[in-house]
Amino acid sequence: MQARKKYVLLGLCTCCWLLLFYWGGLQERLLALLTRRRGEVVRPWPDWLDRALLPGYAENAELQNGGGPGESPRQRRQAWASIYKNSHCRMDTCFDFGRCRGRDGFRVYVYPPEKGDRVSESYRKILASVAESRYYTSDPREACLFVLGIDTLDRDQLSTQFVPNVDERIRGYPLWNDGRNHVIFNLYSGTWPNYTEDLGFNVGQAILAKASLNTEHFRPGFDVSIPLFSKDHPQKGGERGWLLRNTVPPRRKYLLMFKGKRYLTGIGSDTRNALHHIHNGKDIVSLTTCKHGKDWEKHKDARCDHDNQEYERFDYQELLHNSTFCLVPRGRRLGSFRFLESLQAACIPVLLSNGWELPFSDVIQWNQAVIEGDERLLLQVPSTVRAVGVDRVLALRQRTQMLWEAYFSSVDKIVLTTLEIIKDRVYAHISRNKFMWNALPGGLVVLPEYSTHLAHYPFYYLNLGISPGQEFTAVIHAVSPLVSQSQPIMKLLQVVSKSKYCSQIIILWNSEKPPPHRSKWPPMPVPLVVTDGRRKVSTSSRFLPHVTIETEAVLSLDEDTVLLTSEVNFAFHVWQSFPERIVGYPPRSHFWDPVKKIWGYTSKWTNEYSIVLTGAAFYHRYYHYLFSHYLPPSLRALVDRTSNCEDILMNFLVSSVTHLPPIKVAQRKQYKDMPGPQSTNMAPWATPEHFNQRQDCVNTFASWFGYMPLVHSQLRLDPVLFKDHVSVLRKKYKDLERA
C-alpha cells in the first residue's frame, strides 16, 4: 500500500512537471506581462532565430572593389568643371588653384577705385583691411584672390548706396573671368517685400562673403558667411568684450531680453509678431514697438499703444548689460546687428533665425557660444534657457567673449578671418583644424605654415594634457667683434651652457666683422651654432624663425647680459608653468600720458611693469615665427631702421595674443639698469635719443594694433625661500641672494 501511494504520488508529480514543461516559459511570460503592463518593452526588435543566417549587406569583394575604378578621373574633373557652375560652385570646380601656387602664393589684389564711384564707409574699411593685410599685392598677375573696387555691400535697390549697372561694369573687366577667384562682400541683399538673396547682378563663379546667408543658398565649402556689422564698426583693434569678471552665480538681473521692432506685416513678421508672448515683466523682458516705417499706423493693432509705451520704459544698453540671455530673432533678413551687440556684451545670444548660416560657420563651433533656438518653438525658449545650468552659462558667456575678440571686434578681424578661411581651403593640407579655430587665442594668430601639430604651439598644453619640454635653446645676439677672452659674451656662454636644461646655443653674429674661428669660443658641453648675419644686419633678425631651434623654449640673450646659471634655471622652471608668456628679468612699463594724449614709456623702477626686455627672457619659439610672419613688414622695417624696439614689439605681440602681462622673475642684480651719470661713454641704449625712439615705437605699435595690448603686472616670481630667514643650505637658489 505504501509503495502504491508512492507511485501514485510520483506519477502525479511527473504529470504536473511534464505539463509545466510542455506549456513552458511560465516565469518568462509572467515577467513579460508584468513589465508590459508598466508600459515598457524589454526588447522590441526581435532576436531572430535565423539571425546568423541573414545575408551580409554586401559581399566583401563588392565592398573592396568600391564600385570599380569608374570613369577616367581626368575626364570626370573636366566634366565637373563645366557642370557645377554658379549655384553649384565648389572650390574644385569654380576656383583656379593654379593662381595660388608657391610659398607666398596667397596674394589678394584689390581693383583700383574708379572715378565717380562712391564707396560706403564700411566698404572703405574692408578694402583698407585687405590692403593692409600681409596678403595684399598691387600686382594682379601674382594675385590668387581678387576683391572688387565697386561697393557691393548694399544691394538693396531702395538704398542710397546702391550701385547700378554692376553687371555691365564687371563684365568689362579683363580680370573678371566669370568671377573666378573673386570675393564679393555683401551685407544687404534683396529689398522690400521679399528680401531675396539676389544681389542684382550675376555673381558667376565668385565667392560670396555675405551676411544673412541662407543655408539653402549657401554653397558649402565655397561661400563665407560674415556677420552684419554697422558702419561704426572700428577698423582695427576694437573694443574688448564687456565681460570683466566671472560673477558667481552667473545669472544677471534679467534672464532673457529683447527690445526691438515688431513687424506688423511682411517677411519676418511671424516671429517678431509673437515675441511679446514670452514677456512676463519680471525676469523675461520682451519689448516690441510698432513704430517703424512711414505708414506703421495703417497696420496698427490693439497691442501697439500699450507695447509702445512699455517699450520706452527700458533702455537697450542697460538691458544688454543686465541680461543673461539675449534674444536674437531674424529681422527682415536673417542676420541682425544685435547678434554682434549681444556677443560683445557677453549676453548669450538665443537665436531665432531659421536657416541662417551663422557667421564663419565653417570653422566656428557656435553651439558652444550661443543657444540655437527654433522660430517654430518660440514658446519653449523660456523653459530652455531656464534649464541651462550654472556651469554652462559660465562657459557660454566666456566663449562669446573669446569669439568676439578673436574674430569680430573689428573690420580687420572680420576681413582677415574671411581671407584665412579661404586660404585654409586653398591649402587644405596645411590648414588649421577646428580645435585651433575654437580654442584660445583664436585662429588668426595660429599660422598653420609653422606647424599643423597642436603640441608645437604654446597655447594648448593643458588642453592636450601634456607639459612643455625639459630643454631650451639659448639664442645670443652678438653685435660687437670678439677681441678678448674676457668679454661678457664669454662669461655668458659658460653660464648658460652650465644649465642642465640647455640643449644648444645659437649665436646670431650681427657684427660687421666676420665671426671668429670655432677655436676662439670656449669649450662647452652643448652644441654651439654660429649664424653669420652680416649680409643682412638687422635687429629684427634676432627673432627669425631659425630652423636650428629644436626646443620649444628659447632663451633670448644680449651679448652683454650678466646672469647666473641658477637664475637661468629658475627662470626656465617658471616658464614651464607659463609657456605662453614671456618670462624674463629686466622690466619696463608703459603709461598713458593724459596731457600729451600719447603713450609713455619708462625704464624707471616702478611698482608695476608691462614689458620684460628680451635681452634676457624665455619664451616659446612659436613667437619667433609669429614675429616674422604675422607682423607687417612696415613694423619690422621700423625696428631694423632704428635698431631699436624689437623687444617692445615682441612684448606687444605676445600680450596681444595672450591678453596677459609678461612675467618678471627674481634676479640677483639689476640688469643694465639706471646708468650712473658718472659713466662717460654711454652705451647706445642709454642715450636720450634711444629712449625717445622707444617712446615713439610704443605709439606706432599701439596704432598698428589698434589698441594697447600691453597689460600691467604688480608681481615678481621669486624662489620659494627667496631671502627668507632660513639657512642658505636649505635654499635651492642660494646664488640669487648673493650680493
Partner 1 sequence: VGFGLIMCASVKYSSRGPALIPRMKTKHRIYYITLFSVVLLGLIATGMFQFWPHSIESSPEWTLDRRSVHDAPLVKLPVSSPIPERGDLSCRMHTCFDVYRCGYNPKNRIKVYIYPLQRFVDEVGVPISSTGLSREYNDLLSAISDSDFYTDDVTRACLFVPSIDVLNQNSLRIRETAQALAMLPRWDKGMNHLLFNMLPGGPPDYNTALDVPRDRALLAGGGFSTWTYRQGYDVSIPVYSPLSAEVDLPEKQPGPRRYFILSSQTAIHREYRTELERLKEENGEALLLLDKCSNLSQGMASARKRCYKGQVYDYPQILQESSFCVVLRGARLGQATLSDVLQAGCVPVIMADSYILPFSEVLDWKRASVVIPEEKLPEMYTILKSIPHRQVEEMQRQARWFWEAYFRSMKAIGLTTLQIINDRIYPYAARTYEEWNNPPVVKWSSVSNPLFLPLIPPRSPGFTAVVLTYDRVESLFRVITEISKVPSLAKLLVVWNNQNKSPPEESLWPKIAVPLRVVRTKENKLSNRFFPFDEIETEAVLAIDDDIIMLTSDELQFGYEVWREFPDRLVGYPGRLHLWDHEMGKWKYESEWTNEVSMVLTGAAFYHKYFNYLYTYKMPGDIKNWVDAHMNCEDIAMNFLVANITGKAPIKVTPRKKFKCPECTAIDGLSLDQTHMVERSECINKFASVFGTMPLKVVEHRADPVLYKDDFPEKLKSFPNIGSL
Q: Which of residues 208-267 bind partner 1 (CB under 8 A)?
A: 215-216, 218, 220-221, 243-249
State the burial class of residue 3 (Cβ atoms within 10 Å of its Cβ: 0-12, 13-18, 19+).
exposed
Contact indicator for 528, 508 with CB cutoff of 8 Å: no
Q: Residues 631-660 vs partner 1: string with x where CB under 8 A? A: ---------------------------xxx
Residues 8-27 within binding reach of partner 1 (CB under 8 A) = 8-9, 12-13, 16, 19-20, 23, 26
Cell of 508: 646670431
Distance in Å, CB of 365 to partner 1, minimum: 5
At 712, which amino acid appears?
A: H
List alpha helices for 514-645, DSSP H. 565-577, 622-629, 633-642
Of 473 and 655, nearer to partner 1 (C-beta) is: 655
Q: How buried is residue 384: exposed, middle or buried, by Cβ count under 10 Å (0-12/13-18/19+)?
A: middle
DSSP per-residue string spanning 216-271: TT--TTT-EE-----TTS-SSS-PPPS--S--SS---SEEEEEEEE--SSSTTHHH
Out of 48, 115, 302, 483, the only residue in the binding site for partner 1 (CB under 8 A) is 48
Determine the size of the site formed for partner 1 (CB under 8 A): 149
Among 177, 451, 487, 643, binds partner 1 (CB under 8 A): 451
Distance CA 540, CA 635 (A): 10
Q: In the complex with partner 1, which residue's Cβ is closer, 386 or 641?
A: 386
Q: How far is the CB of 435 from partner 1 (least distance, A)?
A: 6
Three-state DSSP state, 473: strand
**Nine cell digits for residue 447:** 599660422
CA 11 – CA 2 distance, rounded (Å): 14
Query: Which one, 364 or 475, has the nearer CB to partner 1?
Result: 364
How many CB atoms are located within 10 Å of the residue 647 CB?
26
Name residues whose C-beta falls within 8 Å of residue 157's C-beta, 6 or more positions apart in sequence.
191, 200
Instruction: Indicate the DSSP class of residue 528.
Output: E
Name the one residue in this structure whose C-alpha cell is 602681462.
661
Closest approach, Cβ 738 to partner 1, in A, equals 13
Q: Looking at 39-47, 104-112, 168-176, 695-703, which segment touches partner 1 (CB under 8 A)?
A: 39-47
Contact positions with partner 1 (CB under 8 A) in 335-354:
354
DSSP annotation of 140? G
Stretch that binds partner 1, among 109-117, 267-275, 388-396, 696-704 (CB under 8 A): 388-396
Stretch near partner 1 under the rule CB under 8 A, chosen from 30-38, 102-110, 191-199, 329-337: 30-38
Residue number, 247 or 317, with CB nearest to partner 1? 247
CB of residue 599 vs partner 1: minimum separation in angstroms? Answer: 19
d(CA 351, CA 623): 38
Least distance in Å: CB of 36 to partner 1? 6
Q: Are 274 and 375 in contact (CB under 8 A)?
A: no
3 touching partner 1, by CB under 8 A: no
User: Which is closer to partner 1, CB of 263 or CB of 609?
Assistant: 609
Least spacing, CB of residue 126 vs partner 1, in Å? 27
Q: How many other C-beta atoms are found inside a 10 Å radius of the C-beta of residue 644?
A: 21
For position 675 contacting partner 1 by CB under 8 A, the verdict is no
Out of 189, 342, 401, 561, which residue is the one contacting partner 1 (CB under 8 A)? 401
Of 415-444, binders to partner 1 (CB under 8 A) are 428-435, 438, 440
Residue 595: is it exposed, middle or buried by C-beta count within 10 angstroms (0-12/13-18/19+)? exposed
Comparison of 9 and 637: residue with beta carbon closer to partner 1: 9
**411, 414, 415, 420: CA torsion to nearest 10:** 150
DSSP state of 713: B
Instruction: Identify the bridge partners of residue 616 per DSSP, sorted by sequence position.
Output: 557
523 counts as binding partner 1 under rule CB under 8 A: no
Closest C-alpha to 720, from 584, 570, 532 = 570
Q: Which residue has the cell 653685435?
A: 479
**DSSP character at residue 600:** E
* Residue with smaller CB distance to partner 1, 390 or 637: 390
CB 490 within 8 A of CB 478: no
Which residue from 347, 402, 553, 653 is in contact with partner 1, where contact means CB under 8 A?
402
Which residues within the stretch 136-195 sit at the binding site for partner 1 (CB under 8 A)?
none
Q: Which of 136/435 has CB closer to partner 1?
A: 435
* Residue (338 or 397) nearer to partner 1, CB: 397
Which of 107, 262, 636, 664 touches partner 1 by CB under 8 A? 664
Site string for partner 1, 580-609 (x = CB under 8 A): -------x-----------------xxxxx
**Out of 3, 7, 38, 55, which residue is the one contacting partner 1 (CB under 8 A)?**
55
Using CB under 8 A, which residues numbered 74 to 93 contact partner 1? 74, 77, 80, 84, 88, 90, 92
Q: Residue 640 catalytic? A: no
Give the chain's length.
739
Task: Report the nearest approach of partner 1 to the CB of residue 416 (Å).
Answer: 20
3-state secondary structure at position 154: strand
Give the one residue of 159, 280, 317, 670 binding partner 1; rule: CB under 8 A. Answer: 670
- In the bound state with partner 1, the residue whose beta carbon lies nearer, of 30 and 637, is 30
**Residue whose entry in the numeric block shows the C-alpha cell 594724449:** 597
DSSP 60-122: HHHHHHTT-S-S-HHHHHHHHHHHS-GGG--HHHH--GGGG-STT---EEEPPPPTT----HH
Find the binder of partner 1 among 463, 494, 634, 692 (CB under 8 A).
Answer: 463
Q: Could you tell me the smallest distance in angstroms from the CB atom of residue 579 to partner 1?
A: 12
Residue ranges in 366-385 that form contacts with partner 1 under rule CB under 8 A: 367-368, 371-372, 374-377, 380, 383-384
Q: Name which of residues 703 to 722 contact partner 1 (CB under 8 A).
A: 711, 713-722
CB of 227 to partner 1, least distance (A): 19
DSSP, collapsed to helix, strand or coil, labels residue 735 as: helix
Q: Which of 307, 412, 424, 647 is catalytic?
A: 647
CB of 466 or CB of 683, closer to partner 1: 466
Q: Does 486 bind partner 1 (CB under 8 A)?
A: no
C-beta of 509 vs 601, nearer to partner 1: 601
Distances 707 to 48, 203, 241, 582, 627 between C-alpha atoms, Å: 69, 37, 13, 20, 18
Nearest to 154 by CA among 162, 164, 166, 142: 162
Using left for φ > 0, alpha for ψ between -120 and 50, and beta otherwise, residue 427 falls in: beta
Per rule CB under 8 A, is residue 691 in the interface with partner 1? no
Catalogue the active-site residues.
647
